[in-house]
Amino acid sequence: MLFYLSLLSISGCDALQSKINEIENLANEFVAIGFYLGVEEIDTPLIDDATLALLDDLTSVELFLATAASSQDLNSNPVSRADVTLNSPLNGVLPVEENNPGQYSTNTSTGLLYDESEVALFEIEHTGIDHAISVNVPAEPSFTLNASHNQNEDLDISFSNQAYENALAFVVNVQTGEVTYDNRPTTPMEMYELTHPQGILLNEVEPDTDSINIPGSAFGTDGIYVIGVAGIISSKASQMNNINTAISGLIAGKFNIEAICIPQCQ
């Protein structure tokens, strides 16, 4: 009997400590928010070298650090001079350098690799205090496109039953090099809105995403277009340590790259 009572006591203490940690993280004003993106190997004769060069930096990390009590404060107090590293089996321990106040990034020029099907851990040290956030790293989505498409017509891309929480996409006109559509986040507020739809963590929103719609305006002229789609996964609250779980968020996703002709390939 004493043995079972002891087990109950330990279990109760663990649950209490977990609740205390949860409350502390909600009250913590240290915020980390960003993305870890990759791209599949591109192999299509429709994509020229100039477009391939444009896609080189798709494998990238962008992490924004701030002290904030709400999402409205994200731009007000960036955290500078932090030591940030990405830790994963393929990358080892890779430094992520600060480029602008509070903005830390890296790409393939520093040796960054997309570590598919692993967990990517970002460790942050600032003023002697340690913080961490991690995310499960998904593979690229599987989908099929028709070889041709009509000018100015919306394009629905389906990737059902692949357990993504949301999706990113971009479109590039191969002839002009113009990016005609792009929903990737570029500001801290856009990152927050992506990772916290309806004000709650993305992975707590149901159901999973199984398609994305690209507006017809992306295909405004005849020609060849490159389309990139990444299904994304976001950090859970349990994957955040000593940071604000109500505002922080990290997504990971890998782009599947396809080409399409408007209206038809010649």
SS (HEC) of the chain: CHHHHHHHHHHHHHHHHHHHHHHHHHHCCEEEEEEEEEECCCCCCCCCHHHHHHCHHHCEEEEEEEECCCHHHCCCCECCCCEEEEEECCCEEEECEEEECCEEEEEHHHCCCCCCCCEEEEEEEECCEEEEEEEECCCCCCCCCCCECCCCCCEEEECCCCCECEEEEEEEECCCCCEEEECCCCCHHHHHHHHCHHHCCHHHCCCCECEEEECHHHHCCCEEEEEEEEEEEECCHHHEECCCCCCCEEEEEEEEEEEEEECCCC
Could you state, in order of their start, the residue ranges of all structural domains in the chain? 2-262
pLDDT tens series, the chain, 266 aa: 655 555 555 555 554 444 444 444 457 999 999 999 999 988 777 777 767 777 778 999 999 999 999 999 999 999 999 999 999 999 999 999 999 999 999 999 999 999 999 999 999 999 999 999 999 999 999 999 988 899 999 999 999 999 999 999 999 999 888 999 999 999 999 999 999 988 889 888 877 899 999 999 999 999 999 999 999 999 999 999 999 999 999 999 999 999 999 998 76
